[in-house]
Amino acid sequence: MGRNKGSKGSRKRKTSQTSPNSVSETLAKRLASDNTRTIDNISDNITVNMTSPQGTLPQGPQGPQYVAYGTPPIYPNQQFSYNTLTPMQSMNMNPNLNQVAPPPQSQNQTSSASEFERTVIGKLEKLETRLSKLDSIEKKLTDMSQKMTAMDNRVSSLETSARECNGKLVDLEVSRTMDAQTCDEIRSKQSDIDSKLKEEKTHIQKLSAECETLKKSNLSLSEEITDLQSRSMRDNLLFFGITEANSPDDRKAEQCSDIILGHLEHTFNIPDARGTIKLDRAHRIGSYDSKKTRPVVVKFNYYQDKERVKQHIRDFVKTNSDCPIRSSDQFPKVIQEKRKKLIPTLVAAKTAGKKASLSYDKLYIEGKMYTVDTVSQSGYYKTN
């Protein structure tokens, strides 16, 4: 029994240092040893020394009696000693025992033997159950060993992946350090750019304010220039429909002042136009175009002469609608564009029987003034 305990302790120490396969083998050996030891104990317990102190069997009423294994003698005043000898050893010690026929057993001895058999069979069944459990445990240990092997492989692959990830992390840290330096440089540059942008914004705001001022000044100057141009053209009168020479030499030799004065005397029947009307200059406007006849602009020396001639021509055209020559005031280009937009509405108002007139860049209908921006509210608004 002492050896068994020592071997059990040694098996425990070995199990802690071995793999799952060796653990299962050690456990199976240990269970087999325990089973053998249990059977030996059962044999020891049921073995009875069948000899008396004098070396003879106990004597009963019918002579020498056998004693069942594990059952003490039932005879009174008889003392027997039991030892751990096996039945074969007891028989060897009593050679005459083989020659003695077994006596008939009593009812108590038969029941004790059957009870013993049932006990042995129960223990054997329990042993078989334990062995089947051991088989299932061994299978489970085998499965666990396989799973642990698979886990070991997976752990190895995970360690490899972890090393690779560690290397990548080191590279990322190096790259992150470089990126941090780059970001610092970018931040410093961005700070400089922001400061410059603020300066530029301030400068742009100043320029915007100056531009607004310049726009206002330009508009004011434009209006002043337009007004000056209009004033300088107050004495001018445009004549349309006067025949133009075809050859370049004839156009260069053309005397527009004599032509205008001749038309005033002969076409419009103004008596002594050459002696009473004084012209400062007269010339054609624009570049030559064979498909068009250029108008002639005439500057009168006196404003009264210009108004008298304009009114006479207007009256003459009313009575002689087939006259090819027309006249009108000269205006700057800006004013002329505005007048072109107002003329269709002027004609529509007159057609409707309304009193309408166009003065400079303003249209008057029934005494109410309209400009290019408000002519759409007149009720007679027309476009070209």
pLDDT digits 0-9 by tens, 4-60: 444 444 444 443 444 444 544 565 566 556 555 655 554 454 443 333 333 444 444
The residues, any chain, with a CB within 8 Å of residue 65's CB and separated by 6 or more, are 57, 58, 59, 73, 75, 103
Q: What pTM was computed for the model?
A: 0.45
> How high is the mean pLDDT of the chain?
77
CB atoms within 10 A of CB 4: 13
State whether residue 54 is helix, strand or coil.
Answer: coil
Lowest mean pLDDT among 58-62, 111-115, 152-156: 58-62
Bridging pattern class, strands 326-329 and 296-300: unpaired
Distances (CA, A) of 136 to 115, 129, 152: 32, 11, 24
* Residue 354 one-letter amino acid: K
pLDDT of 135 > 80? The answer is: yes
* HEC letters along 301-340: CCHHHHHHHHHHHHHHHHHCCCCCCEEEECCCHHHHHHHH
pLDDT digits 0-9 by tens, 166-201: 888 888 888 888 888 888 889 899 999 999 999 999
Name the superfamily (CATH) of residues 234-330. Answer: L1 transposable element, RRM domain (3.30.70.1820)
Lowest mean pLDDT among 3-17, 187-201, 224-238, 303-317: 3-17
Lowest mean pLDDT among 89-98, 104-113, 231-240: 89-98
Task: Specify the pLDDT at position 27.
Answer: 53
Lowest mean pLDDT among 109-123, 250-264, 290-304, 340-354: 109-123
State whether residue 48 is helix, strand or coil.
Answer: coil
Lowest mean pLDDT among 60-69, 180-189, 245-254, 287-296: 60-69
The CA dihedral of 149, 153, 155, 160, to the nearest 10 degrees, is: 160
Lowest mean pLDDT among 86-95, 110-119, 247-256: 86-95
Residue extent(s) of CATH 3.30.70.1820 domains in the chain = 234-330
Helix (H) or strand (E) holding 365, with range, is strand 362-365
